[in-house]
Structure 1
Amino acid sequence: MTGFSGRNKQEWHITTLARIAEAILTPERPASAGHDSSSRQEGQKMSEADLKQEAEQRLGTEIESSEWDKTKSYAERKLKGIIERFGDEGGIRREPWYLAQLIAETVQQNRFSRFTIELMELNRYADMEIKKGQPVS
């Protein structure tokens, strides 16, 4: 960044922020294609692997094993609270796809949260670099 004018630094900053957003929010690997939850019978239990596959399909990308356990546990607690407060809507909230949707939403929220923290850190760094190049008054 040394030798950039103020405008070039701003352009670099914007470009870098866009690259970070793309890297974090764009799926790196597509989720398994062809999985259709409509082929499952209503009320049928779902294996752990099928639940993960369903959540990945809803999310549109793979869920890393490092995020799976924590996210699934959180989503199960959230679902329990929803059912306790609002009921199970005639059993709909007890369907496996409902938990899969909560898992997908939780992964998306966690990733976006991580993105905003990294964005803030980059913004702080970029501001320091811009200020470092300015004359002290």
Structure 2
Amino acid sequence: MNLRGHERTEFPQSVRKAAFIRCCKQGTQPGVPQCESCGNVLRSGAIIFEHVIPDGLGGLPVLENCKIHCTVCADIKTHTEDNPRMRKADRVLKRAYGLEPTTRAKIKNRGFPKAPPQRRASAPIRKWKGF
């Protein structure tokens, strides 16, 4: 369960079939399934049924809210549109209900002592006895 109160709902089989028929009819090549975003021909295993309005923001699993995308277009839409909107909705809910973590106060201490200034930087280094 997420902050918005429900689990993800997938499209039922009837909606997926209707969306697939729509993408085969509306493309430039009739009868060939094509991405509804870029128009590339879709291969088996590379078809993604994507919510237009994300499910987490109230998008229903109906045909009007279903688009068929290739894997590239689905990733672009998910990472550039859906995820930022979902994160913002989570931030708004957390702020509205006081679910944000409290800020921790800094530990107050003296800190480390200051090193003495080096006045003889050009003098030879004498680390070992006998030199």
TM tier relative to shorter chain: 0.3 to 0.5
Superposition TM-score, scaled by structure 2 size: 0.34
Normalised to the residue count of structure 1, the TM-score between the two structures is 0.33
Could you say which structure has the larger radius of gyration?
A: 2
Q: Which has the higher contact order (CA 8 A, sep 6+)?
A: 1
